[in-house]
A and B are shown apart, each in its own frame.
Chain A
Amino acid sequence: MTLTTTGPPSTRAAGGQQRPTTTQPRRIVRSGGRVLATIVIVLVIIVAFLGPYIWMFASGLKTQNSIFTDVFPVSWKTFIPLHATIENVVELFTERDIGQALVNSGLVAGGQVLGALVVCCPAAYALTRIKFPGRNIIFALILATFMLPAEALALPMFELIGKLGIEDTLVGVGIPWIANAFGLFLLRQAFEAVPVELDEAARLDGAGHFRIFWSVVLPNVRADLVTFVLTIFLFSWNAFLWPLIAIQSPEKQLVQVAIAQSVAPGELPNWGLSFAGASIATIPLLVLFIFLQRQLIPGLARSGMK
């Protein structure tokens, strides 16, 4: 590798090896350049990521006509609802029963989270703490279900819940995804990070698997459990095709499907309603996320360590 012998002087300086006084002005220029680059990168991120959301929230508070007039040409008016109206929001709540849909989605997501906790935690324990033959095969078979596209399975799944007599119920829409492979994967990573020495110590104290699981491993993965809970909640809240197929009664509809009626694929979109609906479907998660992101992001990040 030629790179090991020929490093540019500036990088060597930054490496802190030789720092002759002559490079001082250059360092200032360089750090000035770095600040500028940082500002540019942050600005690009703001425009690319925050911009669309601000536009979405602002447009949900506008009439359809003013959305169009405010877009061309782009100005601050595009992103600020100058004559804010809540008529879109009101229509969604009064005529499309978004309130009920929000409650339903909360119930299903909550139920899935609880179910997944009960089912995945012990499974992750067994897969990380107990040695038994076929462990890796079982994990591979479980992980393989992560590759199953939920959309491709929707049809046979519908057949199945029909056979089980739980079609058109909130249970039917929630239960199939409780055994969540990605969730298990997250937990397995977290459980593996808990030192095995703790188990051994507890075992010497006479603890069995259940006690080790409950009082040694679980207390040490609390932060990861928050990640897990949020991830499952996220999957559930954002699911679309499955609830669309599985639920028939309007009073049991979930929020993404309810929103999609104002955003109906194949339907002439009303931009104001669509934006308002999209905002309403997004805000609960956004709030949850902003409060819990200190747990969520490091938790997900830890799954990338191994």
Chain B
Amino acid sequence: MVSEGTFDKGMMAMMIANTAASMGTEVHIFHTFFGLNLMKKTAKPKLPGMYKLFTGMFIKKMNKIGLEDYAGQIKLAQELGVNLYACSTTMGLMNIKQEDMWDGVKVLGAAGFLDIALDADSTMFIG
């Protein structure tokens, strides 16, 4: 579950997700509140607070050690079959449409996601 839309929160979720998927684990990520901004095709998340200015430099350093930027992580997640979900209520509140989001993002509500999470062996909350 991801509820914040900054670069670090998004990257943390996607890196853990892509690792888990690489280990043969089924992954489902629910994006709600500001986390939903990360599901927009145009998402270019920044580091939080005063670190915002250093986002570009940070991404360059990550690229050097083989890590993709956020859009690259999403592409990898799509290839690995990570399931991405958008909170339907947040979509309404922030006026985000299905077509604004990455390909394959599924829309559901809290009960729909809980139905998946309640059967999980492990759940994680990222900010």
Whether both chains belong to one complex is answered with: no
Residues of B bordering A, CB below 8 Å: none
Give me the interface of A with B, judged by CB distance under 8 Å.
Answer: none
